[in-house]
Amino acid sequence: MRSQRPSPMQPPPDEVRRAPSAAVAEDTHWSRPECQAWTGMLLLGTCLLYCTRVTMPICTVAMSEDFGWNKKEAGTVLSSFFWGYCLTQVVGGHLGDRIGGEKVILLSASTWGFITIATPLLTCLGSAHLAYMTFSRVLTGLLQDLVLALGILVQDLPMARPSKVPWRQLFRKPSVWAAICSQMSSACSFFVLLSWLPTFFKETFPHSKGWVFNVVPWLVAIPASVFSGFLSDYLISQGYRVITVRKFMQVMGLGLSSVFALCLGHTTSFLKAMVFASASIGLQTFNHSGISVNIQDLAPSCAGFLFGVANTAGALAGVIGVCLGGYLIEATGSWTCVFNLVAVISNLGLGTFLVFGEAQRVDLRPTHEDL
């Protein structure tokens, strides 16, 4: 019996088998224009996001004087954003995994932008300014993902078949808990500084220019963040282990930044305070090349969900940290305790990540291999 040979017009069987997987692999790679467009849009979106977050900390200084808020009441308003923010992290991350991040970004950005524009109008509604401001900030945080979920239910948008999240497998790994704890610490320490630095500078250096201390630290953060990304990629390309690079970035983002935060509470010089604040905020951006991408290392198949869990923990810690900062200032009359709080929180997360942090995948089934 003669063996059958493939027709000249037909590819060999092994090539036929490879064709679908090759096509899928090809479809997963973006073109250069797509990468450039997405990078530009994500940069713009991130800038707008932080503009929205920082408006209340800056305005709280003047609003506290106009409405007679003490530090406890100001802390309530400053932390209220995270009350709503923490409730939709897991939902938003899971939706991003299922239907794509572009839909999440579009509707969430439109929503928080509209509420930010409408917030000043609430001061004209009555005398309950504290309640109105608190409500608007809770709503800003809450509607960042919730609106998309409701829109999907109402409009019956097509959704991809949900992938099964390996809950038990993920949360049995110490490296996952280390990532969650480190993200919680980095988010909390950042939120405390974000919320209270404008008030600190205004009260400690009353004759200083607001545009200086409200702008300079965040301008420093831009090149610091870009540099941390380039440095991380360079070290990995030079052969350093991924987890070594991740931990180094966290040493910079949590360890060294907390040292400069401590220095803020022990200076009477405006220039030194600006240097310390800029260094602390700038170094915290190194966390983006550390713990933020470590979650992708651990579970790329459900990174949105896992980051949602970690960021929920960070938002909850931010609520407690910002409120606690207001109570400490009101009780002691000193800003040193706030910066000590930042240092303690940062180093607890850093220590946990240094001991238990890993970069090996944990979302694979036992029958699979990490190639």
d(CA 338, CA 354): 25
**pLDDT given for residue 11 in this prediction:** 47
- Its sign, for the CA torsion 33, 45, 105, 111, is negative
* Residue 103, token pair as written in the block: 């839909």
**pLDDT given for residue 166 in this prediction:** 72
Once rounded to an integer, what is the mean pLDDT over residues 18-31?
A: 50
**pLDDT given for residue 93 in this prediction:** 62
Look over the chain and give the mean of its residue pLDDT values, rounded to a whole number.
79
Angle (CA) 39-45-48 rounded to 5° is 145
Q: How confident is the model at residue 7 (pLDDT cuts 50, 70, 90)?
A: very low
Nearest to 93 by CA among 113, 108, 115, 114: 108
Within a 10 A sphere around the Cβ of 113, how many other Cβ atoms?
15
The secondary element (H helix, E strand) that includes residue 39 is helix 32-67
**pLDDT given for residue 59 in this prediction:** 81
Q: Mind spelling out the 3-state secondary structure of 10-21?
A: CCCHHHHHHHHH
The gap between the terminal CA atoms of the chain, to the nearest Å, is 41
d(CA 54, CA 199): 12
**pLDDT given for residue 337 in this prediction:** 93
* Residue 72, token pair as written in the block: 């406890």
Q: Residue 190: is its pLDDT beyond 60?
A: yes
Q: Provide the percentage of residues in the chain whose pLDDT is more than 70.
A: 78
Q: Residue 162: is its pLDDT beyond 60?
A: no
**pLDDT given for residue 164 in this prediction:** 66
Q: Residue 159: is its pLDDT beyond 50?
A: no
Range ranked top by mean pLDDT from 102-106, 109-113, 314-318: 314-318
Q: How confident is the model at residue 149 (pLDDT cuts 50, 70, 90)?
A: very low
Nearest to 86 by CA among 288, 280, 312, 283: 312
Q: Residue 276: is its pLDDT beyond 50?
A: yes
**pLDDT given for residue 230 in this prediction:** 94
Range ranked top by mean pLDDT from 10-19, 95-104, 214-223, 227-236: 227-236
Q: Residue 240: is its pLDDT beyond 70?
A: yes
What is the chain's Cα-based Rg? 24
More confident residue, 322 or 27: 322
Q: Residue 4: is its pLDDT beyond 50?
A: no
**pLDDT given for residue 41 in this prediction:** 77
Nearest to 80 by CA among 328, 308, 322: 322
Q: Spell out the residues 6+ positions from residue 41 whose beta carbon is closer than 8 angstroms to its own.
A: 105
Q: How confident is the model at residue 169 (pLDDT cuts 50, 70, 90)?
A: confident
Once rounded to an integer, what is the mean pLDDT over residues 154-179?
A: 69
* Residue 235, token pair as written in the block: 């070290």
Q: How confident is the model at residue 56 (pLDDT cuts 50, 70, 90)?
A: confident
Q: Residue 362: is its pLDDT beyond 50?
A: yes
The 3-state DSSP class for residue 125 equals coil
Length of the chain (residues): 371
Cβ 315 vs Cβ 89: under 8 Å: yes
pLDDT tens column, 283-292 = 999 999 999 8
Candidate from 153-162, 247-256, 258-267 with smallest mean pLDDT: 153-162
More confident residue, 209 or 148: 209
d(CA 320, CA 226): 30
Q: Residue 229: is its pLDDT beyond 80?
A: yes
Cβ 270 vs Cβ 370: under 8 Å: no
Cβ 44 vs Cβ 30: under 8 Å: no
d(CA 361, CA 364): 7
Between the CA of residue 162 and those of 32, 130, 152, 272, 295, what are the distances in Å? Answer: 29, 41, 14, 52, 20
Cβ 132 vs Cβ 122: under 8 Å: yes
d(CA 349, CA 163): 30
Range ranked top by mean pLDDT from 28-32, 62-66, 243-247, 308-312: 243-247
Once rounded to an integer, what is the mean pLDDT over residues 154-173?
A: 62
Once rounded to an integer, what is the mean pLDDT over residues 153-174?
A: 62
More confident residue, 9 or 285: 285
Only one residue has tokens 């931010």, namely 318
Nearest to 295 by CA among 350, 243, 217: 243
**pLDDT given for residue 294 in this prediction:** 93
**pLDDT given for residue 242 in this prediction:** 95
Candidate from 10-19, 167-176, 336-345 with smallest mean pLDDT: 10-19
What is the model's pTM?
A: 0.71
Q: How confident is the model at residue 349 (pLDDT cuts 50, 70, 90)?
A: very high
Return the half-sphere exposure (C-beta side, CA atoms, 13 A cut-off) of residue 103.
19
